Chain A
C-alpha cells in the first residue's frame, strides 16, 4: 500500500492524521456547508445583514415547506424524474445491444463503429445545438419531455456503448463459444447468457447515467421552456427569479434540486464508483 499505512507510523503521526482528515473535509465542503446553513435561516436575518452570525431562529421546515408547497419545484422535480428514468432505460437498453454486437462479433467496420461512438461521445455539445434544436422543433417535440429524452438517449448511447462493449469484452468468451457449439441461437445467447452476466454493468451504468441526465442543464435550456417540461436544473433558475435575493429560499431550493443524485450516489455507491472508474485500472 502507498503511501505508508498510518498504523505503521508513530502514535503522534496517527493522532495528527486522524484530526487532520475531518478538518480537511470541513474545508473541502465549506461552500456547501455555508449554503446548508443559509437554508435554515429566517429571511429576516438577511435583511438585517446577519448572514453568518447565530441564526435568529431555525426555519428548516418553513423554508423547505415553501420550496415544496409554494413554488413550481415539485413539478420540476417530477419532470426531472420523467426525463431521467426513461433516458436511463433507453440508453442502457440500446447500449446492451450495441455493446453485445461490438464486443462479441468480429466483422469489418466493428472498430470503426465503436470509435464513432467514442468520438461522438467526446464532441462539444454546442456543435449539435442548432441542428438538434431544429430537428426537435420540426418534429413538434420542442418543449416536451419526449424531445429531451430522445436526444439524451441518443447522445448517452455513445458513452454507454463504450462502457458495455469493454465490459462484454472482459466476459469469458468460451461460454459463448460453447453455447454456439450447442446450437443456441444468437439472440438467445444475448438474452440468456450475456445479459445476466451484464447485471453489474447495467447497475453501474444506470446510476451513472441517472446522475448525468439529472444534472444536465444545457439541453434543458435549449430544448424546453416552461414548468411543463423543464427539469429541475433549469427550473432552479426560474425558482431563483421568483425568490430573488431571498437567500434562505434559494439555498433550500438548490439543496432540494441537488439531493436526488446525491441520495442515488450514497445508496448505490459501489456501483457508482465501479462505473466511474471503469478503465482506471487494468
Chain B
C-alpha cells in the first residue's frame, strides 16, 4: 500500500519540484505522526502525505497512526504525555491553550521567523499564543448556510442578504410544510455555530471575541440579550427541526436530503456528505449568513485545522521538514483540491480548487469577511466555558423561556473560569 502510493508521490515531487532548506538535507530515523483525519477523504489525503514524504526521504521512515476524529479530542492529552509522537493534528486558537500552557506543544516561533512558512502570514494569528507560534495550519473551511436550491426555486425564493429577508424566506418555507433549518444538537457544538453567527451579525466580531475572552457579562450585556432575541424569533417560528437534541449532526442530514428541511448552517465539510446522499449540485447551494445589524461588518467562522510538534518529539528535524512540506504552496493546492479535502488552502500562493463551494467560500472569506475571522465557538472560548456554554445554547433552543436562568449560569461559570 505504502509502496504504491510512494511511486505516485515521486512523480508528484518531480513535477512540482519542491525545494527549500529543509528538503535539501537528508533526514533519517523515524517520524511518528498521529492524525485525526479519520473520515474517508481526509484519511486518504493523510495517508498520501505520509507516503509522499516517506518516499522523498529514503532514509526516513514515516510511521502514521490515524485515530478516530471524535475520540482524538479527548485522547490527545494521553498521546502527548507519555511516549509522545513527533507530529499531531489539532485545532487553532484557544483549543491549543491547555497543551500550550502545559508545555506539550513545541514552541516553533523560530521556524516561523526563519521563513519556513512563506505565504502563511495571514493565518499566523490563529497559531499565536503569548506572542509565540505553536504549530502550523494545513486547511480551513468556511461556514455558512447550505440550502436546497431546488426548494428555493420551487418557492421562488432568493438568497437572503438581510435578516428580514431570511425570516420572510423561512416563513415561506414553513408555509410549504417544511422546516427552515435542520440541526442536530446532541453533541452541542452545532448550536455554537448558530450563536457565533447570530452574535457576530448582531454585535459584530469584536464583541464576539470580547465575549470569548470573558470580558463581557452574559447577564448584563445588552448585545448578548439582543442576540438571543433574534435567535428566539426563529425558534418561535418553528424554524428548526423538532427533536434536534436527539440527533448528531449527521443524523440531522436526512431532513435536508429528504426535503423536510430546506437549509443547514454548517461547515463546508457537509458538502461531500450531501453529495454522497444523492443530492446533485443543482440541488445544493450556499449563501453567506445574512446581515442582521447593518452597522457591523461581517465576521465569519472559518475553523483552521493544524499540525503541531510535540515537545517530547524525538525527530525534530524531520518534524520541521514535514511541517514545511505540508504548508508549501504545491502541497496545499494538492491536498485541499476537490480530490483531497475539498477545502481552502492556507498558503496564499496555492490555488483554490475549481469547485462551486470552495470558490464561493474563498471569495466570501477574502472579500466579505471584513469584520474578522473567528475559529468556532468551542475553539475561541476556553474549553470549560465552551462546554457549559454550548449546553446552555442547546437548552435555549429547546426551552427559550429558560433564558434568564441559562444566562445566569453562564455568567456564574464565566466569573469562575476566567479569573
A and B touching (Cβ–Cβ under 8 A): yes
Residue from the set A140, A237, A238 with the largest chain B CB neighbour count within 10 Å? A238
**Interface residues on chain B, size class:** 20 to 34
Does A241 lie within 8 Å of B82, measured CB to CB? no
- Residues of B near A137 (CB, < 8 A) are 78, 81-82
Kindly specify which of B19-27, B98-106, B207-215, B249-257 makes contact with the partner chain: B249-257
CA distance A142 to B85 in the complex (A): 13
Main secondary structure of the interface of A (DSSP, over half): loop
Residue from the set B65, B66, B70, B82 with the largest chain A CB neighbour count within 10 Å? B82
**What is the minimal beta-carbon distance from B251 to any residue of chain A, in angstroms?**
5
CA distance A140 to B79 in the complex (A): 10
**A138 close to B (CB within 8 Å):** yes
- Residues of B near A143 (CB, < 8 A) are 75, 78-79
**What is the minimal beta-carbon distance from A60 to any residue of chain B, in angstroms?**
24
Residue of A nearest to B78 (CB): A142
**A268 close to B (CB within 8 Å):** no
Does A245 lie within 8 Å of B78, measured CB to CB? no
- Residues of B near A16 (CB, < 8 A) are none
Does A47 lie within 8 Å of B82, measured CB to CB? no
Does A245 lie within 8 Å of B251, measured CB to CB? yes
Cβ < 8 Å to A, chain B residues 241-260: 248, 250-251, 253-254, 257-258
Does B68 lie within 8 Å of A47, measured CB to CB? no
**A120 close to B (CB within 8 Å):** no
**A244 close to B (CB within 8 Å):** yes
Does A140 lie within 8 Å of B71, measured CB to CB? no
Instruction: Mark A129-164 against chain B: 1 for CB-CB distance below 8 A, else 0.
Output: 000010001101011000000000000000000000
Known: A245-B251, A245-B254. A140 touches B65 (CB 8 A): no
Known: A226-B68, A241-B68. A140 touches B83 (CB 8 A): yes
CA distance A238 to B66 in the complex (A): 12
**B67 close to A (CB within 8 Å):** yes
Does B82 lie within 8 Å of A225, measured CB to CB? no
Cβ < 8 Å to A, chain B residues 362-410: none
- Kindly list 20 other residue pairs between chains A and B, CB separation below 8 angstroms, not including A142-B83, A226-B66: A47-B254, A47-B257, A47-B277, A133-B78, A137-B81, A137-B82, A143-B78, A225-B67, A225-B71, A225-B75, A226-B67, A226-B68, A228-B65, A238-B68, A238-B70, A241-B68, A241-B70, A244-B250, A244-B251, A245-B253
7 tightest Cβ-Cβ pairs between the two chains A and B: A244-B250, A225-B75, A137-B82, A226-B67, A238-B68, A245-B251, A142-B78
